């Protein structure tokens, strides 16, 4: 098996063909769908060193992923040559936040993590694998050992979801699947809102309406996070433009869902989701918070959205990677997402590990 590297600009049509064929047998997440990938490629800055890495057996492509490369500097002292799985290594660009990351591969070809690392170009010190799907390659191979480096788990988080078939089996009574405490909490909030007017859900029916709801969502999202002293997911113009372009390009394919939840004429929440292979990915949201603690716009909005998606016949409503308590309370099942890296044996990494241990010791002494 050999490695072939393709330029994302000059070999674009060839990349589209290879990616499309491998996606048919890999059933990837939305973040590896061609709709997402094509938009991602179009927004890569000129300084992003990204190629398509294709594993070829005979003359047949059997696996592919985008390989980003960049020089890394940490703590103003630790330098390394980084490679990235379906990411760039540029923080601003990677804030689009890939999840359920994996390598597309032929269903007839099984790989080991060691085989993957051995086929990479040799000029790397760290291979970063963000947001890995724990059930797909290489996320399902992280317990293996390899002589080529040390596997380190940076984050391992649940990815809660609602099985929408269970909601349909309850004739749409999603609340019956939740704990008695959660049911009481949501119903209390619903009654408080209904005293002002009926709760309703509107789904964008065209790209213009989708962009309108997106802008409302961004405004509420940013306001809530900035009130906490944080910048919010859409602080950068890059993020806003990336998603506005994605909405315009992919709405007609049924991949974009923007929902507006209202009480009477007042908007209490907006949800920005992706829909792919029957699964809903709850990507971002914005809610109108008030001082009255009976009013929980997030819970009420998500309950309405889940019932709506169940009625559409979709299979999963995925909250995506997070250990946030509200997601645990609203889910019926959960998967795992893993942020991992492989480090080659290098002196600078031994130094970094030593400095971290020293810092922890000093913190313990101060306590």
Domain ranges for the chain, please list them: 2-149+344-366, 161-336
Neighbouring-strand partners of residue 216: none
- The pLDDT of residue 145 is 87
Q: Rounded to whole angstroms, how far apart are CA atoms 192 and 6?
A: 57
Residues 185/363, Cβ–Cβ less than 8 Å: no
**Is 107's pLDDT higher than 90?**
no
Say which CATH class 2-149+344-366 falls into: alpha beta
pLDDT in tens, 319-346: 999 989 999 999 999 999 999 999 999 9
Q: Rounded to whole angstroms, how far apart are CA atoms 287 and 285?
A: 7
Neighbouring-strand partners of residue 284: 272
- The pLDDT of residue 135 is 94
Q: Rounded to whole angstroms, how far apart are CA atoms 189 and 263?
A: 12
Residues 122/138, Cβ–Cβ less than 8 Å: no
Q: Do domains 2-149+344-366 and 161-336 have the same CATH topology?
A: yes
Please provide the CATH number assigned to the domain covering 161-336: 3.40.630.30
CA gyration radius for the chain?
22
Closest CA to 200 of 273, 262, 131: 262
**Is 108's pLDDT higher than 90?**
no
264-291 burial, b if ≥16 CB within 10 A, otherwise e?
eeebbbbbbbbbbeebbbbbbbbbbbee
Tell me how many helices (H) and strands (E) the chain has: 11, 13
pLDDT in tens, 8-39: 999 999 999 999 999 998 889 999 999 999 99
């Amino acid at each position: 098996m050999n490695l072939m590297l393709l330029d994302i600009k000059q070999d674009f049509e060839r990349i589209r063909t290879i990616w499309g064929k491998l996606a048919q047998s890999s059933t990837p997440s939305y973040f590896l769908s061609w709709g997402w990938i094509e938009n991602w490629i179009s927004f890569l800055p000129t300084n992003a060193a990204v190629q398509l890495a294709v594993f070829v057996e005979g003359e047949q492509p059997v696996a592919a992923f985008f390989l980003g490369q960049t020089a890394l500097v940490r703590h103003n002292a630790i330098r390394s040559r980084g490679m990235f799985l379906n990411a760039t290594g540029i923080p601003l660009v990677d804030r689009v936040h890939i999840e359920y990351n994996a390598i597309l591969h032929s269903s007839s070809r099984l790989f080991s993590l060691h085989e993957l690392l051995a086929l990479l170009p040799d000029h790397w010190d760290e291979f970063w694998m963000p947001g890995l799907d724990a059930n797909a390659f290489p996320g399902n191979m992280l317990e293996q050992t390899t002589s080529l480096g040390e596997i380190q788990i940076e984050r391992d988080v649940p990815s809660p979801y609602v099985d929408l078939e269970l909601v349909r089996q309850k004739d749409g009574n999603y609340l019956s699947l939740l704990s008695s405490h959660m049911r009481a909490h949501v119903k209390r909030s619903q009654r408080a809102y209904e005293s002002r007017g009926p709760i309703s859900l509107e789904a964008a029916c065209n790209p213009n309406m989708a962009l309108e709801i997106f802008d409302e969502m961004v405004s509420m999202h940013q306001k809530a996070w900035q009130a906490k002293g944080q910048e919010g997911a859409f602080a950068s113009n890059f993020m806003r433009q990336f998603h506005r372009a994605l909405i315009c390009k992919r709405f007609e394919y049924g991949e974009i869902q923007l929902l507006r939840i209202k009480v009477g004429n007042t908007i209490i929440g907006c949800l920005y989701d992706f829909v792919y292979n029957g699964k809903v990915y709850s990507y971002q949201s914005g809610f109108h918070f008030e001082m009255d603690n009976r009013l929980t716009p997030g819970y009420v909005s998500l309950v309405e959205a889940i019932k709506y998606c169940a009625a559409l016949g979709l299979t999963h409503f995925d909250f995506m990677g997070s250990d946030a308590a509200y997601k645990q309370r609203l889910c019926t099942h959960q998967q795992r997402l893993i942020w991992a890296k492989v480090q080659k044996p290098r002196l600078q990494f031994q130094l970094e590990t030593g400095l971290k241990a020293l810092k922890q010791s000093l913190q313990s002494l101060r306590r």
